[in-house]
């Protein structure tokens, strides 16, 4: 009988915790989807969370949208003027805003503002043993706390995406017309040349997926927080990193899949 190598044992140890974390996160996600189908649904909690997320995320979303879209329309403007194609500036800017800038800005806002606040709330409840008290009373914390929060991020993710797209297009129009001396009629009429209804649908599908992922990660890290206030702070920091990475990876995957299908058709 061949004994296991000590080096193999040392190699397994660093992988044990990440694998347990992934398994626990998948279990929480599946439990959340199952509990979402079980009545009753706590609408009041969901509406309160939607209002809270809207208050903390709307202004940063608009500010980032104006900054990103202003930079993009300036770069597009320089490129199109250099190649003598200034009339398609609106088309290129509109496509970039709807397909990428809107969802990516939503990533920044959801990971930096909404998810962290949600994780801190659930983490503080966890270290105060409120979650354990709910379980003792027969209240499922997944059904009572996680499902309304994930639903709230699903709803507000789409709203933030819409706000980013609308404010971004308005900022692009102002930059193109007043900063680059573009033709306002040509810019407005070319917006829909490259941006079709499927592009808009894909943008909001991305926002929906981002909202669900951000909510699940935030709730998981909040419910698994431990070690007092320092543990909650660590959970919040990890939420920012993991949410940002997960949403960007999801954005890349969805963009590649939809681009491949578009080229195939």
Spans of all domains in the chain? 43-255
- pLDDT for residue 142: 92
Sign, Cα dihedral of 158, 160, 164, 167: positive
Read off the pLDDT band of 20 (50, 70, 90): confident
pLDDT over 60 (residue 1): no
- Which tokens sit at 155? 């709803």
The mean pLDDT value for 137-152 works out to 92
pLDDT over 70 (residue 215): yes
Read off the pLDDT band of 212 (50, 70, 90): very high
- Which tokens sit at 162? 């819409």
Provide φ and ψ at 85, rounded to 5°. Answer: -125, 45
DSSP structure string for 158-222:
HHHHHHHHHHHHHHHHHIIIIIS---HHHHHHTTTTT--HHHHHHHHHHHHHHHHHHHHHHHHHH
pLDDT tens per residue across span 51-79 = 988 888 888 889 888 888 888 888 777 77
pLDDT tens per residue across span 147-164 = 999 999 999 999 999 999
Spatial distance between the Cα atoms of 168 and 155, rounded to a whole number of angstroms: 20
Read off the pLDDT band of 2 (50, 70, 90): very low
pLDDT over 70 (residue 94): yes
- pLDDT for residue 115: 87
At 104, is the secondary structure helix, strand, or coil? helix
% residues pLDDT > 90 (the chain): 22
pLDDT over 80 (residue 198): yes
Read off the pLDDT band of 48 (50, 70, 90): very high
Read off the pLDDT band of 86 (50, 70, 90): low
- Which tokens sit at 116? 């962290």
Spatial distance between the Cα atoms of 89 and 77, rounded to a whole number of angstroms: 6
The mean pLDDT value for 26-43 works out to 90
Q: Which of 211, 218, 202 is nearest to 160 (CA)?
A: 211
The mean pLDDT value for 115-128 works out to 90
Mean pLDDT of the chain: 83
CA distances (Å), 210 to each of 3, 43, 154, 183, in order?
A: 46, 21, 8, 36
pLDDT over 90 (residue 84): no
DSSP state of 225: -
pTM, two decimals, is 0.85
- pLDDT for residue 55: 87
Contact between 105 and 64 under an 8 Å Cβ cutoff? The reply is yes
- pLDDT for residue 155: 92
Read off the pLDDT band of 14 (50, 70, 90): low
- pLDDT for residue 263: 52
Give the least confident one: 87-101, 157-171, 228-242.
87-101
pLDDT over 80 (residue 265): no
């Amino acid at each position: 009988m061949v004994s296991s190598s000590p080096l193999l044992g040392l190699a397994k140890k660093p992988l044990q915790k990440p694998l347990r974390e992934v398994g626990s996160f998948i279990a929480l996600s599946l439990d959340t989807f199952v509990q979402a189908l079980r009545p009753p649904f706590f609408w009041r909690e969901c509406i309160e969370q939607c209002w809270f997320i809207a208050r903390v995320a709307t202004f940063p979303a608009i500010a980032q949208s104006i900054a990103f879209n202003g930079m993009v329309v300036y770069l597009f403007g320089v490129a199109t003027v250099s190649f003598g194609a200034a009339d398609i500036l609106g088309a290129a800017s509109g496509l970039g805003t709807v397909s990428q800038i809107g969802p990516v800005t939503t990533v920044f806002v959801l990971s930096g503002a909404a998810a962290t606040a949600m994780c801190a709330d659930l983490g503080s409840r966890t270290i105060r043993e409120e979650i354990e008290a709910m379980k003792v009373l027969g209240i499922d914390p997944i059904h009572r706390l996680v499902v309304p929060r994930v639903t709230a991020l699903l709803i507000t993710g789409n709203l933030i995406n819409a706000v980013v797209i609308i404010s971004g297009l308005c900022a692009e129009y102002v930059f193109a017309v007043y900063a680059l001396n573009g033709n306002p009629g040509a810019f407005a009429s070319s917006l829909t040349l490259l941006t079709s209804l499927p592009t808009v649908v894909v943008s909001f599908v991305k926002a929906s997926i981002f909202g669900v992922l951000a909510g699940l990660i935030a709730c998981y890290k909040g419910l698994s927080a431990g070690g007092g206030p320092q543990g909650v702070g660590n959970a919040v920091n990890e939420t920012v990193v993991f949410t940002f990475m997960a949403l960007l990876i999801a954005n890349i995957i969805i963009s590649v899949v939809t681009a491949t299908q578009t080229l195939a058709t």
